[in-house]
Amino acid sequence: MSQLATNRLPGEVDSLLLRVRRGIRTYVWVEGLAKLAVLFALLFWLGLLVDWLFEPVREIRIALLVVAIVAFVWLAFHSILARAFVQLENRNLAVLIERRFRQFSDSLVTSVELGERPAEQHGYSVAMLDDTRRLAAAEALRVPPIEVFRRGPLLRLVAIAGLLLASVVLFGLLAHDAFGFYLERIQLSEELWPRKTRLTVVGFEADAAGVRVAKVAEGRSLEVVVRADNTLVDPPPDRVELRYFQDNGQRGRAEMKRIGEAVPGRDDDQEFRYVFKDVYQPFVFDVVGGDARVRDLRVEVVKNPEILQMTLHCRYPDYMARSSRDLAVSGAMQIPLGATLRLSAESNKPLLQVKMLDPESSEPTVLDFATGKDGATGPTKFEFDLGQVERDRLLLFALRDADGIETLEPYRLALTSLADEPPTVELSLLGIGTSITPQANIPMRGKVTDDYGVDRLWFAHRSSEVDNPIETPFEPAPQGEVELAVQQSLDIEPMGLKPGEKLVLYVAAADRCDLGQGPNIGVGRRFLLDVVTPAELRASLERRELLLRRRFETIYNEMLQTRELLAQVKLNDEADPAAVEQLQLRIGRVQQNVQRGGHETLAVAESFDEIRAEMVNNRMDTPELNTRLKDGIADPLREIGGPQMNRLDTEMGALLEAVTAATEGDEALQQASATCDATLVAMKDVLDRMLELESFNEVLELLRGIIDDQQELIDRTKEERKRSLRGLLED
């Protein structure tokens, strides 16, 4: 028992150690709480500043709250929990006190260290230990425990914490609304801070994720319109700025243009505008003005709405007898008048609306496509009934797609109405000249065409004594042919025309068109024919025969000269090149003359055929005259100008080749000379027949003269008798 009592610390020392231990724990708690208070206040003000300046989105605010809580817990653990509950040994406390109060002279540390162990273990004197304890106990009564601690840093920390907490309290008292609003923001409210300036960006709608987006067509300009509220206490800002951030990392700023000057009480908003030109890449931008800031406005680039193809379903008028067709639109479309059209088109994007504008109409035709319940966008195909084509039309089509983008320029569809053309009548007189006899039969030959078929065809004729033409239908009547070969004759004998009158004659055709004024009528060439007596027409034809005979005489004489030129062709194998060239030129001239003579002879033959045809069509022909003109003149001339001249031309070509190739050409020369002689004989024979015909015509002319003289004598005799009778009556 005495040993245990001896090792016990004096009460004064034990009390001192206990008070120091409590003081340390109190110091740790006060210091830790002060630090937590400082951190809380700093986090409060820093969070308030960040939230007011940047108004971060909900996700960022959650992240900031998590960071603040982690920092607060970390500081609480390291400043309080990790220090306040640490076991404090007496020896450590004694060392702490000895360092602060040097008057203990190590008595306190010695008392604590030796008093905890039996004296026998360390070999010290108990009496000496008791003296040391008495010394330590005496000094412990004179030492204030509070002096162990450095109160200055703690007081400063507590003062700072108090001031910061006081600032928070004062803010809550003096700015109760702002304090409460900030607490709501801490509770993740989506409402933004009230500002002195209120900015509204026009046209940016929030999507399903809450992101405000505007869409612009690729390559177009985007005009941003910002309205600053002019009804608040503070006036709108003088300048508003755009801060944009492109997806490729590029950043930039631009000042918006102030539009006009808003007047308080009159204008609700002050407008600012800025144009992003030629947008090809998406970007995000903020609008900053005054104390307001509108963030994260996104611009998305989409394709322009385009019409990929347009098709016209065309139903033709019934009279055309054509099946309906689908016509791909390419440029101006030519559509028959009266056709009915329906337009089908396809776009590259889903559509919300299509407008069809007709400049001649006051109101556009609008097709609206509503968005489906499941969010599906509109169709990519649309149709318009364009009705019946009655005139030229220019139609404009404006598209608005599911992104709200409208076509920059409307698409144009030009419709040109094609009126049904009248039938084309291409007819000519066959075997009729400019003069006819009253009993003539007028043949016409040619073709009549129409795009959709000929329905009616007739002769139209009138004399100079009649105003309205008479119609004589063709027989058989047309059956709707698109192209009709015509060979018809008109007998004018029933008309009772008199010599001296004139006959106007043409052919008209009507198509099957049943639109508007009815069928279209096409008129062929108009012929003006003189009605003459058979004698007058015969005399005219005889004059033509005389001219033809003289013309053929010229051809014959030229052929004689050609024969003489051929006779000058002398073949010589040893001739020099110059002589050969001269020979080739002479043979070439002969060949040219032969070709020209053949063509001209055929032309004379055709002219005699025309004379004969006129005589036949005017019903003036006789078997003798017909045989003489055809068998005696026209057919032989056709034989001469055709086969004979062609054979001679071929032989001259063979002769020229022989001379050119320097081969034997005597046989070719002899053959050509013989053929030329035979041709001349045939031509002379025909010329003699022409002279016989001319003599025959002269006899006929003489007979006509005798008949005319006899008729004149009869007329004079009758006139003389009338005068004699008149004289007798007067006497």
Is 70 exceeded by the pLDDT of residue 139?
A: no
Is 70 exceeded by the pLDDT of residue 680?
A: yes
One-letter amino acid for residue 37 of the chain: A
Supply the DSSP symbol for 493.
G
pLDDT, average across residues 477-504: 89
Specify whether the CB–CB gap between 71 and 35 falls below 8 A: no
pLDDT, average across residues 421-448: 91
Where residue 375 falls among pLDDT bands split at 50, 70, 90?
very low
pLDDT at position 155 is 79
Helices first, then strands: H and E counts in the chain = 16, 28
Is 50 exceeded by the pLDDT of residue 136?
A: yes
pLDDT, average across residues 628-638: 87
pLDDT at position 325 is 92
3-state SS, 305-333, equals CCEEEEEEEEECCHHHCCCCEEEECCCCE
Alpha-carbon separation of residue 710 from 103, 664, 697, 717, 718 (angstroms): 194, 71, 20, 10, 12
pLDDT at position 84 is 65
pLDDT in tens, 506-515: 999 999 888 8
Is 90 exceeded by the pLDDT of residue 342?
A: yes
Where residue 2 falls among pLDDT bands split at 50, 70, 90?
very low
pLDDT in tens, 216-247: 999 899 999 999 988 888 888 989 999 998 87
Q: What's the rounded Cα separation, in Å, for the pair 486 and 202?
A: 77
Is 90 exceeded by the pLDDT of residue 340?
A: yes
Is 70 exceeded by the pLDDT of residue 18?
A: no
pLDDT at position 571 is 73
Domains of the chain by start residue, with CATH: 2-186 (no CATH), 199-302 (2.60.40.10), 307-418 (2.60.40.10), 424-530 (2.60.40.10), 535-718 (1.20.120)
Altogether, the residues listed in the chain come to a count of 731
Strand partners, 521: 510
pLDDT at position 312 is 93
pLDDT in tens, 278-317: 898 899 999 998 888 888 899 989 999 999 999 999 999 9
- Computed over every residue of the chain, the mean pLDDT equals 81
Q: What's the rounded Cα separation, in Å, for the pair 652 and 671?
A: 9
pLDDT at position 205 is 76
Where residue 270 falls among pLDDT bands split at 50, 70, 90?
very high
Residue given tokens 């008129």 in the structure block: 523
Residue given tokens 């009564």 in the structure block: 141
Cis amide prior to 118 (ω within 30 degrees): no
> Read out DSSP for 131-174?
HHHHHHHHHHHH--GGGGS-HHHHHHHHHHHHHHHHHHHHHHHH
pLDDT, average across residues 58-84: 83
Q: What's the rounded Cα separation, in Å, for the pair 345 and 394?
A: 16
pLDDT, average across residues 706-712: 62
Is 50 exceeded by the pLDDT of residue 652?
A: yes
Strand partners, 528: 504
pLDDT at position 588 is 87
Residue given tokens 């631009």 in the structure block: 254
pLDDT at position 35 is 85
Q: What's the rounded Cα separation, in Å, for the pair 79 and 32?
A: 5
Reading across the β-sheet that carries 222-229, which strands appear in turn? Answer: 199-201, 222-229, 269-276, 257-259
Specify whether the CB–CB gap between 283 and 299 falls below 8 A: yes
Strands 483-491 and 251-255: unpaired
Where residue 5 falls among pLDDT bands split at 50, 70, 90?
very low
Is 70 exceeded by the pLDDT of residue 332?
A: yes
Where residue 409 falls among pLDDT bands split at 50, 70, 90?
confident
Alpha-carbon separation of residue 15 from 3, 19, 99, 144, 548 (angstroms): 22, 6, 18, 11, 169
Q: What's the rounded Cα separation, in Å, for the pair 595 and 164?
A: 129
pLDDT at position 339 is 92
Where residue 464 falls among pLDDT bands split at 50, 70, 90?
confident
Question: Residue 53's CB: how many other CB atoms inside 10 A?
Answer: 11
